[in-house]
């Protein structure tokens, strides 16, 4: 599977000469995400993103279930090597292989075949000759009488530019690009047959599918394996597949330089192959040594001199600011709190506050408007909010006595408020806890009466329940007051 590059800074990998490489990732089915535990370990994945067991390999048919075998699978799971569900069998090399039903003529569901598919490491180059090989071996269980086990002679590979994804059929109608010879039946259960051939690319082929295709020009020509005389069971052929290779025979040396960068504006950027070659081919269709860009994207150039090919890949990404900036709503905060405004944001390379701070976050110390601008080096966005700072300590004061004698002096008992509250209730109680007075208007005071009757000389308790801000819990201010007559 192709790797994803993190394009944060410009870097250049020096050109390195290498011999023609195998274009098939995970050719021996050795690299895995998880050990298999049952049949159908190779999934249908139209997005090429579902690899529950073996990496890089998928099924092109949604209705079929190719298998994955590995020595790490539990014995008894039916997909352990060498103890498979059809008998004892080793991998060609290593610890793993794939398994497919090459042909099954079911009486209920009709014709059924399975395939395995892989994305090559890069597209094939038009006109290049490719050597293709893989190994196959048949396997069957002589203790099973429900099937006529057969051997087939039409197993091969097809190459396509786009991924093959079929949701309704149980076989593929593809033309073979490489196939074993007619009459070369895969009959041995203790040896592997090498299937090989050469393929001249049309250009851009990037997907390889292996199996037995339903092809009218090359029909299968089965022979009976077991039992010696065909019974009444359904014809069934099962194959193991291993060690898949595709090499470019014209690619004697390949020099690859990757140029990856993130830019503010890709238009007008000139890309140039560093090789003074005989011919050039860009993925845009241009045949010049250099091209001028109109937008960001993936670009490659193939420069060729005789049998040497130079491939340069350029990945240009526009640095966009997808999310906006939001530092918060206008709000009241307590002077005593260490309130933080702002937060770290991914991709931001520059912060600028109207206070002069250049960090992601600040702690306001006074009321006012706060303004933040952020940038990723290309674009800048801003946000503002108003902060009002209030005291949240020593919010109330109350006298310790009052004289409700109608002399115009200290005739009522109330509290003085110094903080901004969102909600408050002032209440007075007698010594037994009976409520004598309550109000949510803190400008109101108790006149020393209860239900029209003067309260006697005594000590009374009071309480103010209040909430300062929406994000603050309930607060209580309470005490005692002496009523004097």
More confident residue, 182 or 400: 400
Residues 150 and 139: their CA atoms lie apart, in Å, by 10
Instruction: Output phi, psi for 404, to 5 deg.
Output: -75, 70
**Same fold flag, 18-248 and 253-318:** no
Instruction: Give the mean pLDDT of 432-446.
Output: 95
**Integer CA distances (angstroms), 393 to 112, 130, 258, 388, 463, in order:** 80, 82, 63, 16, 16
Q: pLDDT per residue over 74-96, tens digit each?
A: 988 999 999 998 888 999 999 99
Instruction: Give the mean pLDDT of 258-274.
Output: 81
Residues 356 and 351: their CA atoms lie apart, in Å, by 10
Q: pLDDT per residue over 278-337, tens digit each?
A: 899 999 999 999 999 888 888 998 888 876 778 888 888 887 765 667 787 888 888 877
- Given pLDDT bands bounded at 50, 70 and 90, which one contains residue 270? confident
Kindly report the three-state secondary structure assignment for every residue of 112-165. ECCCEEEECCCCCCCCCEEEEEEEEEECCCCCCCCEEEEECCCCEEEEECCCCC
More confident residue, 366 or 230: 366
pLDDT over 90 at 376, yes or no: no
pLDDT over 70 at 1, yes or no: no
What is residue 38's predicted lDDT score, i.e. its pLDDT?
92
Answer positive or negative: Cα dihedral of 437, 441, 446, 451: negative
Instruction: Give the mean pLDDT of 263-268.
Output: 80
**What CATH superfamily classification does 331-390 receive?**
Immunoglobulins (2.60.40.10)
> According to the per-residue pLDDT averaged within each range, which of 159-163, 359-363, 405-409 is highest?
159-163
Domain spanning 253-318, CATH architecture: Sandwich (2.60)
DSSP conformation class of 4: P
Instruction: Give the mean pLDDT of 368-375.
Output: 90
> What does pLDDT average to over the chain?
86
100 within 8 A of 242, measured Cβ to Cβ: no
pLDDT over 60 at 2, yes or no: no
Q: CATH top-level class for 18-248?
A: mainly beta
If we measure between CA atoms, which residue out of 414, 427, 409 comes closest to residue 466? 427
- Given pLDDT bands bounded at 50, 70 and 90, which one contains residue 20? low
Integer Rg of the chain from CA: 40
pLDDT over 80 at 442, yes or no: yes
Instruction: Supply the DSSP string of 421-440, one letter for each residue.
Output: -SEEEEEEE-TT--EEEEES
What is residue 232's predicted lDDT score, i.e. its pLDDT?
74
Q: Which of 53-67, 335-349, 400-414 has the lowest mean pLDDT?
A: 335-349
The share of the chain scoring above pLDDT 70, in percent, equals 92
What is residue 424's predicted lDDT score, i.e. its pLDDT?
94
If we measure between CA atoms, which residue out of 335, 336, 263 comes closest to residue 299? 263
Residues 191 and 189: their CA atoms lie apart, in Å, by 6
Where do the domains of the chain lie? 18-248, 253-318, 331-390, 396-483
Q: pLDDT per residue over 202-213, tens digit each?
A: 999 999 999 999
The angle subtended at Cα 45 by Cα 42 and Cα 46, nearest 5°, is: 150
Residues 188 and 65: their CA atoms lie apart, in Å, by 23
pLDDT over 70 at 67, yes or no: yes
Instruction: Give the mean pLDDT of 124-128.
Output: 88
Residue 42 burial (CB < 10 Å; 0-12/13-18/19+)? buried
- The H-or-E segment that residue 313 falls in is strand 308-318
Q: Which of 52-61, 230-239, 250-259 has the lowest mean pLDDT?
A: 250-259
Q: pLDDT per residue over 132-180, tens digit each?
A: 999 999 998 887 777 888 888 889 999 999 999 999 999 999 999 999 8
Classified by CATH at the fold level, domain 396-483 comes out as Immunoglobulin-like (2.60.40)
Instruction: Give the mean pLDDT of 44-60.
Output: 95
- Given pLDDT bands bounded at 50, 70 and 90, which one contains residue 457? very high
Residues 334 and 189: their CA atoms lie apart, in Å, by 81
What is residue 402's predicted lDDT score, i.e. its pLDDT?
95
209, HSE (Cβ side, Cα atoms, 13 Å): 27
> Two tokens at 29?
């089915």
In terms of DSSP bridges, do strands 116-119 and 57-58 run parallel, antiparallel, or are they unpaired? antiparallel
252: β partners? none
- Given pLDDT bands bounded at 50, 70 and 90, which one contains residue 188? confident
More confident residue, 469 or 465: 465
The b/e string for 132-156 (b: 16+ C-beta within 10 A; e otherwise) is bbbbbbbbbbeeeeebbbbbbbbbb
Across 152-233, the runs of DSSP E, i.e. the strands, are 156-160, 178-179, 193-200, 207-211, 223-226
What is residue 322's predicted lDDT score, i.e. its pLDDT?
58
Residue whose entry in the numeric block shows the structure tokens 């770290």: 344
């Amino acid at each position: 599977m192709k790797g994803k590059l993190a394009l944060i800074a410009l870097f250049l990998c020096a050109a390195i000469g290498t011999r023609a490489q195998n274009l098939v990732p995970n050719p021996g089915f050795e690299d895995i995400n998880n050990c298999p535990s049952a049949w159908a370990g190779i999934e249908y994945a139209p997005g090429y993103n579902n690899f529950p067991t073996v990496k890089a390999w998928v099924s092109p048919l949604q209705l079929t279930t190719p298998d994955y075998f590995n020595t790490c699978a539990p014995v008894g799971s039916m997909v352990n090597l060498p103890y498979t569900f059809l008998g004892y069998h080793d991998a060609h090399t290593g610890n793993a292989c794939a398994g497919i039903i090459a042909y099954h003529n079911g009486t209920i569901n009709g014709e059924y075949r399975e395939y395995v598919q892989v994305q090559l490491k890069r597209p094939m180059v038009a006109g290049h000759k490719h050597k293709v090989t893989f190994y196959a071996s048949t396997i069957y269980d002589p203790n099973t009488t429900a099937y006529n086990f057969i051997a087939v002679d039409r197993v091969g590979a097809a190459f396509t530019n786009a991924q093959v994804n079929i949701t309704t059929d149980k076989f593929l109608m593809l033309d073979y690009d490489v196939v074993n010879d007619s009459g070369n039946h895969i009959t041995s259960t203790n040896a592997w047959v090498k299937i090989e051939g050469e393929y001249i690319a049309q250009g851009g082929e990037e997907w390889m599918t292996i199996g037995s295709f339903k092809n009218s020009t090359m029909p299968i020509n089965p022979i009976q394996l077991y039992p010696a005389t065909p019974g009444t069971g359904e014809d069934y052929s099962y194959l193991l597949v291993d060690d898949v290779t595709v090499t470019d025979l014209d690619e004697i040396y390949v020099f690859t330089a990757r140029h990856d960068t993130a830019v503010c504006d890709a238009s007008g950027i000139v890309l140039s192959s560093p090789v003074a070659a005989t011919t050039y081919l860009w993925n845009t269709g241009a045949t010049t040594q250099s091209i001028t860009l109109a937008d960001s994207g993936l670009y490659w150039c193939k420069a060729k001199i005789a049998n040497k090919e130079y491939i340069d890949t350029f990945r240009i990404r526009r640095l966009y600011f997808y999310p906006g900036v939001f530092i918060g709503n206008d709000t009241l905060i307590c002077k005593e709190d260490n309130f933080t405004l702002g937060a770290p944001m991914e991709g931001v390379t520059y912060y600028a506050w109207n206070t002069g701070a250049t960090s992601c976050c600040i702690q306001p110390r006074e009321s006012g408007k706060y303004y933040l601008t952020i940038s990723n080096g290309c674009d800048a966005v801003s946000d503002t909010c108003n902060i009002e700072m209030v005291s949240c300590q020593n919010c109330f004061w109350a006298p310790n006595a009052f004289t409700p004698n109608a002399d115009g002096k200290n005739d009522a008992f109330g509290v003085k408020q110094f903080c901004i509250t969102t909600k408050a209730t002032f209440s007075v109680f007698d010594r037994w806890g009976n409520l004598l007075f309550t109000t949510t208007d803190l400008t109101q005071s108790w006149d020393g009466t209860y239900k029209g009757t003067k309260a006697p000389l005594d000590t009374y308790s009071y309480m103010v329940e209040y909430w300062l801000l929406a994000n603050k819990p309930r607060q209580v201010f309470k005490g005692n007051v002496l009523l004097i007559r």
